[in-house]
Structure 1
Amino acid sequence: MFDAIKKLFSAKKQTDVATLEPKLCVAALLVHLSAVDGESSDDEKQAIQNTLQSYYGLSPQEVKSLLELAIEQNNDAVDLYAFTSVLNQLEVEEKHAIINMMWQVVFVDQHNHELEDNMVWRVAELIGVSARERTLLRAEVRQAAKIK
């Protein structure tokens, strides 16, 4: 009986992961990141929209639709694996761009909460971005945001 239940849940997770596309995974991670410190500010929401629109070349309506799906996926997720396993298949440059987008959301409010920092670290580790590269990307975004 336990094997049957385990099979049921394993099959569902594999199907869900297979149907996720990278930009939806990125959007879901950004949505999660914006709320990880207990509150998702309007500035963070706007940063997510701007970042997705700029990186993927989406229209405002496409971003809105993507974010609606991302919020739903984030609410249904039990961990980050469904998203990071998809993103782990991307090229190194794309992985760096994802971490860069995450730092942009973190620093939009001029503050780096420890839970935000921890989430970027975990995602970077899960998608194969080195600690060195993550730190360099953080410094670049921090400097661009003019944070001391």
Structure 2
Amino acid sequence: MLDKLMGFLSGERPDAETGSEEELKIAVAALLIEAGKMDERFDAGERRAIRDLLSQRFDLKSSELDQLMATAEARVEGSEQYYPFTQLICKRLSGSERVEIVEMLWRVVYSDGVLDTYEDALIRQVAALINVEDRDRAMARQRALAALEQER
């Protein structure tokens, strides 16, 4: 109890506020899944893009990816708000890391070759919630498009 009080007074955040590393992974995965589902066509290409991005970002094995995807999909189905996910990302990640998340979102929505207006609106909203400037969002979009072009 005294340790918690001392931590609070020294500015440390309680675990519930900052979230665990696992919760951060779930939050990122949930936003990527939401982006994939935004155009109501969550296809194998988008799912593969999400798995690849999560694997690269968090250095996950296939079994860990399966579990993360299942957990994140359940969270997406059980929530109608992005705020819990974006709040955790905003608190845990640096500005450049948050821009990387926006770039990941762009890569997911462009993985099917078409940008839907709802997908664009989602990324605009998420970027605002995680304090990513419009300029950085636009640059992340260009990097995502360039990366996807190289992959093709």
CA distance in 2 between counterparts of 1:111 and 1:47 reads 14
1:59 corresponds to 2:78: no
CA shift for structure 1 position 144: 2.4
Which stretches in structure 1 are left out of the alignment for 5+ residues?
1-14
- 2:147 equivalent in structure 1: 144
Q: TM-score, normalised by structure 2?
A: 0.82
AA aligned opposite 2:134: A
- Look up the SS of the partner of 2:149 in the other structure: coil
Which residue in 2 is equivalent to 1:102? 105
TM-score (norm 1): 0.84
Question: Structure 1 residue aligned with 2:117, among 110, 114, 119?
Answer: 114
User: Residues 46 and 104 of structure 1: is their aligned pair in 2 closer, same or farther, counting only changes over 3 Å?
Assistant: same
The letter for the 2-side match of 1:79 is Q
Contact 1:110 1:145 in 2 (8 A): no
Unaligned runs of 5+ in 2: 1-15
The percent identity for this pair of structures is: 29
Q: Pick from 136, 139, 150: which aligns with 1:133?
A: 136
How much has 1:143 moved relative to structure 2?
2.2
In angstroms, what is the RMSD of aligned CA positions? 1.9
* Deviation of 1:146 (Å): 2.6
